[in-house]
Amino acid sequence: MYRIRFHGRGGQGMKTASRILGTAFFIEGFEVQDAPRYGAERRGAPIFAFVRAAREPIQERGIIRQADLVVVADDTLVPVPAAGVLAGCDAQTVLLINSHQPTEVWKERLNLSGPVLTLPAHEEVADRAELPYVGAACAGAAARLSGVIGLASLEQAIGEELGHLGDQVVAVNRERASRTYEMLVEQAGLVKGERAITAEDWQAPDWIELPFEEADVSAPAIHAGLTSEALKTGSWRTMRPLVDYDRCNRCWWVCSTFCPDGAIRVDEEKYPRIDYDHCKGCLICVAQCPPHAISAVAEHEVQSEEAVS
């Protein structure tokens, strides 16, 4: 059985990627299961989708703990623990990262036992949540790595999944998918889908007896706002608001009042200070600032600059 996970941000088309790949497997005569997994998130938040494909009916369900292939549409997610990109990666897992950084850099950085590939599948854009056609590119790459999906099936799958958006959209997505499909010709069949799950030998789960604890500990009560500081929603951000303090007229209230997340506080000098751990990059402050002192910059660019310095 092939077990494949796609990781990306809400808006990048990972659900679509999983559906294109699922349909392509299905056209090739496989039994298929595909599904996205997300919660109460939104555009920019880390999400994942998965595909199972096998020659016999599929009984497994839910998240794939150990994948044969992990495809990452946005390389800024790799170091985000909440994204779970590297969960369950072992020697049998192929990791494919959509990145302009060289493969060697990722190999060294991640030190994984399995193969690591990179794919410069997109031209760079400022707002990564709008990465164009990256879903089709990822699906094309995964199809080739499986070694069992022909280009015709891939193109037919794109037609079936995106046909409602019109011929033009289908044509461009087919072109992007076939481009990554061709790029990986050398790696065709690298993903084997031969991971065996057997009951010959297994590690017993570390089940415990859950102890009784009094309600002041064990009640799931939330009696105040702002109790989720430790949840770093800043990881959802694909665009970062930056304050030009030379232009800021210290009005002291407009940006901080409009911020829907309370992520802007005003210091004693009446300058706004943005809490990047929690700013989700909605850019309402950019739109509201009267002297236009807040600008939006690409998060991935700031992060690469920060990584260098």
Partner 1 sequence: MKRRLLTGNGAAAWAARLANVDYIPAFPITPQTEIIESLADWIDSGQMPGRLVTLESEHSMLTAAGAAATTGVRVFSATSSQGLLYAMEMLYTVSGWRAPFVLVNVSRGLSAPITLEPDHNDILAARDSGFLQIHCATCQEVLDSVLLAYRLGEDERVRLPVLVNMDGFYLSFTREPVEIPKIEQVAEFLPPFQVGEIRFRASAPESQAVAVLGGGPYSYFRYETHLAARNAIQVYAELADEFEQAFGRRHEAVECYRCEEAEYLFVMIGSFATKAKAAVNSLREAGWSVGLVRPRLLRPFPDTEIRRLLAGRRAVAVIDQNISFGAGGVLHGEIAAALYGQPDAPPVLASFIGGLGGRDIPAEEFYQIAKVIRDAAEQGETPPPRLLYTGTELRETRKLQAIARVERAGLGGEA
Name the residues that contact partner 1, by CB under 8 A.
19, 22-23, 26, 31-37, 39-40, 58-63, 65, 197-200, 202-208, 210, 217, 220, 224, 226-230
Task: Indicate the residue among 118 and 153 with the shorter CB distance to partner 1.
Answer: 153
For residue 248, CA distances in Å to 50, 154, 243, 298 come to 46, 52, 7, 21
Q: How far is the CB of 95 from partner 1 (least distance, A)?
A: 22
The candidate with the shortest Cα–Cα distance to 21, out of 5, 44, 37, 8, is 5
Q: How far is the CB of 86 from partner 1 (least distance, A)?
A: 17
Helix (H, G, I), strand (E, B) or coil at 124: coil
The amino acid at 150: G
Residue labelled with tokens 């499909």: 181
Q: How far is the CB of 56 from partner 1 (least distance, A)?
A: 10
The candidate with the shortest Cα–Cα distance to 84, out of 98, 64, 102, 101, is 64
Q: How far is the CB of 219 from partner 1 (least distance, A)?
A: 8
Task: Indicate the residue among 202 and 269 with the shorter CB distance to partner 1.
Answer: 202
Q: What are phi and psi of 234, to 5 degrees?
A: -60, -20
Q: How far is the CB of 286 from partner 1 (least distance, A)?
A: 29
DSSP β-bridge partners for residue 39:
none
Q: How far is the CB of 54 from partner 1 (least distance, A)?
A: 11
Task: Indicate the residue among 59 and 309 with the shorter CB distance to partner 1.
Answer: 59
Task: Indicate the residue among 62 and 260 with the shorter CB distance to partner 1.
Answer: 62
Task: Indicate the residue among 81 and 290 with the shorter CB distance to partner 1.
Answer: 81
What span, in angstroms and rounded, lies between the C-alpha atoms of 17 and 96?
14
Q: How far is the CB of 284 from partner 1 (least distance, A)?
A: 25
Task: Indicate the residue among 157 and 259 with the shorter CB distance to partner 1.
Answer: 157
HSE-CB at 288 with a 13 A cutoff on CA atoms is: 15
Q: What are phi and psi of 299, to 5 degrees?
A: -60, -40
The amino acid at 286: V
Q: How far is the CB of 228 from partner 1 (least distance, A)?
A: 8
Task: Indicate the residue among 214 and 306 with the shorter CB distance to partner 1.
Answer: 214
Task: Indicate the residue among 57 and 260 with the shorter CB distance to partner 1.
Answer: 57
The amino acid at 203: Q
Those residues whose C-beta lies under 8 Å from the C-beta of residue 241, and which sit 6 or more positions away, are 274, 279, 281, 283, 285, 286, 294, 295, 296
What span, in angstroms and rounded, lies between the C-alpha atoms of 233 and 30?
39
Task: Indicate the residue among 32 and 248 with the shorter CB distance to partner 1.
Answer: 32
What span, in angstroms and rounded, lies between the C-alpha atoms of 99 and 95?
12
Q: How far is the CB of 249 from partner 1 (least distance, A)?
A: 32
From its phi and psi, is residue 118 left (phi > 0), alpha (psi between -120 and 50) or beta?
Answer: beta
